[in-house]
Amino acid sequence: MLIVDAAGVGAVSYNDLSIAHSTTRFIEAQGVPADATVVGQTWKYVNKSGTPDKRFKNNYQIPIALYEEIHFASKSGLNEVIQVSSQGGGQALDEARRDLVASAVVQSGLTK
């Protein structure tokens, strides 16, 4: 896998890449993507108790969406987390990575 950032380009072997995924709730003040799942609402200005703060006259509700976090890591130092609005991508990426590693092992005639 090629990693590109302002410092340059690096590479991580798929065999050394770890992909983990989980879900997280995200307050989406700018609009909810079409593929996101809305799991609740909150207020723009909220009290510690979760009730709307009545000091603000234009206090409106904001959706809370369920996002997936995908964590990429390696022993060489890669440690990145991305959030995506659709669910299942992290698992699909990890399965594809495992398939690539298994395919490379079979093609090379090596065993683990």
When pLDDT is cut at 50, 70 and 90, the band that residue 110 belongs to is low
* pLDDT tens sequence across 36-49: 999 999 999 999 99
Contact 68, 87 (CB under 8 A): yes
For residues 81 and 36, give the distance between their C-alpha atoms in angstroms, rounded to a whole number: 18
Evaluate if pTM is beyond 0.85: no
> Which two tokens mark 8?
């340059």
Domain range holding 24? 2-108
> Which two tokens mark 102?
């298994």
Euclidean distance between the first and the last CA atom of the chain, given in angstroms as a whole number: 20
Looking at the structure of the chain, the number of domains it has is 1
Give the pLDDT score at 88: 87
Give the pLDDT score at 111: 56
Give the pLDDT score at 107: 67
Percent share of the chain, pLDDT over 90: 60
Strand runs (DSSP E) across 37-102, as ranges? 37-43, 61-74, 79-84
